[in-house]
Structure 1
Amino acid sequence: MRRSILFLLTTPLLFISHSMAVVTHEFGHSFMAWMLGIKSNPLIITWGDTSALNILTLFQIGERVDYARAIGGGHNLAAALTAATGPFFVNGGLYAYFRINARLRSKSQHPGLRLMYFWLLFMNLANLYDYVPIRTFSPTGDIANICAALHISPWRIYIFIFPIVIEGIMNFYKYQIPGLCADLGLDPFDRKFLLLVSSFLMFGYYGSVGFRAIDPVSNFLAGSSILSLPFVIILYWSRSMTSRDHPHQILGSANG
């Protein structure tokens, strides 16, 4: 019964949590631009076409902020803060929120809500990952706009943010998956299911975003992400079967 519920809930929750992470990301950009005076209407964003692929993935969505005009007009700080809002303030902030609260509220949550917390945490972390490291060196996108506005090298962002993202990914595999399984009483099959789904999404789907960039560095990082997928699965496969972390240990790490 638990397994049936997990399978039934996971697919719609994946799309819902992905959409929430992406839409809040773009509106975060838009509202920050509006508050800083470089956009007139924060509710206007680009949604893209009505193809099934775009409806499911929202890959055509955009904040519709003219960064070149803002920078050209001397609004460099406003442009930098606007570009940083999506990945760092919105996705980074939501990831921190769900990382702290998923375990604190786990005992009083409905299993479906607990699973929703888990996927929201994952999707916001994955949105960080597809910027740092995957598209840090792309000549277009949020990181490029930050660097253009502040006249800094993308290496500065990479060196500062990359260790945070890696720690988040390690925490996810070491504590978040076992924590969810402990809270819901899931068996080894369910652990492997969560391991496979989250790994293919993180290193396959989100990692492959770098192939959409025009620079060879992003392409290389995307390829490296996909190639790392089997190694991650092998590394955590046996742990997903046998892990029995103490809840207090998981909670302490999640808050640390």
Structure 2
Amino acid sequence: MGALPYLVISIVTFLVMQSLVVVTHEFTHSTMAWVLGEMPSPLGIVWGNPLTMTGWDEGVDYERLFAQGRTLHAALIGFCPLIMHSLVVGIGIGLMRGRWLARRRWVFHVVYWLVVANVMELVAYVWMRAFSGHGDVGIFDRATGISPWWVFILGSALLAWALWLFFRRAMPRLQRLFAPENQPTRWAILILTAFLIFLWGSGIRVMLYVSGPQWLFGLIGVAAFAAAVTVFRPACNR
């Protein structure tokens, strides 16, 4: 398939998957809060813009939980979406490495961009927001009393392993399915994948919208993007 047609299809697919992931993320918070008896209904989330990923909130009153000493509940509610994203990534990579999905290229295509949307969230939370003091990781750190360094170091190790498997095993399969002999399409897949994972959902957003020294974490996304495009260039994946 030509680079431009597949690029357009991939962007549309990703935007749909991103919207699904954003909604699922907030419902994971609210569902855990409902299970623990901290919300009357899992439907009580605050809806935002699924394209820009702004305005969303799980609707959980964390300050009430901390004031009442329900720190374990706060930790579980705050951290559970990261577990959800990790499970989707792990299962998705496992499926893409198997034979069944490799024989169904459009199903493979959908799973691939779903995994990209979930990996993007993990990169944003582990590499960009571990030291922010707020958000899901900040709530988990506050509730458990652990240093954000533990989340950053352990999360980075697991994330680096998942990214290696994804770029080294899953992406070349997608390239072979849709561009076995088409180098421009293979490059388009690589560049779009790296851009979405490291810049769209994390690096660019942090540098543009975060004030103070925290914006420097966005440079991690820039460096990771450059490294991915260099290390996993199509010539290395034949």
Identical-pair percentage? 26
- Any runs of at least 4 consecutive aligned residues in structure 1 with deviations exceeding 3 A, and if so which? 1-5, 183-186, 211-215
The CA deviation at 1:141 is 0.3
Partner of 1:116: 110
After superposition, give the CA deviation of every residue in 1:73-105 in whole Å (9 maximum; x if it has no partner).
111111101111112x21111111111112323
Mapped partners of 1:4, 1:162: distance in 2? 34
Instruction: Give the TM-score normalised by structure 1.
Output: 0.84
Say which of 61, 74, 81 aligns to 1:86.
81
The aligned counterpart of 1:235 is 231
Q: Which residue of 2 aligns with 1:140?
A: 134
Cα distance in 2 for residues equivalent to 1:36 and 1:214:
35
Match of 2:52 in 1: 57
Instruction: Report the Cα distance in structure 2 between the residues aligned to 1:196 and 1:43, rounded to whole angstroms.
Output: 37
Displacement of 1:180 in angstroms is 1.3
Matched, 1:149 2:146: no
> What is the count of residue pairs matched by the alignment?
234
1:103 and 2:101 are equivalent in the alignment = no
Which residue identity is paired with 1:225? G
**Alignment match, 1:51:** none
Q: How far does residue 106 in structure 1 lie from its aligned partner after superposition?
A: 1.8
2:159 pairs with one of 143, 156, 165: 165
Q: Distance in 2 between matches of 1:155 and 1:190?
A: 39
Q: String of CA shifts for 1:158-204, please: whole Å, max 9, x gaps.
A: 12111011112222221221121223453222110011111111221
The question of whether the paired residues in 2 share the 8 Å contact of 1:132 and 1:161 is answered with yes
CA deviation vs aligned residue, 1:28-59 (integer Å, no higher than 9, x gap)? 011001101111221111113xxxxx342232
Deviations 1:111-133 (A, max 9, x none): 32211111111111111110011
Distance in 2 between the 1:198 and 1:45 partners? 30
> d(CA) in 2 for partners of 1:22 and 1:158?
22
Contact 2:93 2:166 in 1 (8 A): no
Question: Do 2:85 and 2:122's aligned partners in 1 also have CA atoms closer than 8 Å?
Answer: yes
Identify the match of residue 126 of structure 1 among 120, 126, 137. 120
Is residue 183 of structure 1 aligned with residue 177 of structure 2? yes
Distance (whole Å) between structure 1 residues aligned to residue 194 and residue 127 of structure 2: 16
SS across alignment from 2:220: helix
Give me the whole-angstrom Cα distance separating, in 2, the residues matched to 1:165 and 1:151.
Answer: 23
Distance in 1 between the 2:114 and 2:36 partners?
28
> Which structure 2 residue ranges, 5 or more long, are not aligned?
none
- Select the residue among 189, 192, 211 that pairs with 1:197: 192
Name structure 1 gaps, 5 residues minimum.
Answer: 49-53, 245-256
Which residue identity lines up with residue 195 of structure 2 in the other structure?
F
AA in 1 matched with 2:41? N
Q: Is the 8 A contact 2:7 2:189 kept in 1?
A: no
> Are 2:30 and 2:58, in contact at CA under 8 Å, matched by a contact in 1?
yes
Partner AA of 2:28 in structure 1: G
Q: What is residue 25 of structure 2 aligned with on the other side?
A: 25
Preserved CA contact (<8 Å) 2:202 2:221: yes
Indicate how the Cα distance of structure 1 residues 162 and 215 shifts in structure 2: closer, same or farther if over 3 A, else same. Answer: farther
What's the secondary structure of 2:51's corresponding residue? helix
Tell me the amino acid that sits aligned with residue 102 of structure 1: M
Give me the whole-angstrom Cα distance separating, in 2, the residues matched to 1:117 and 1:103: 12
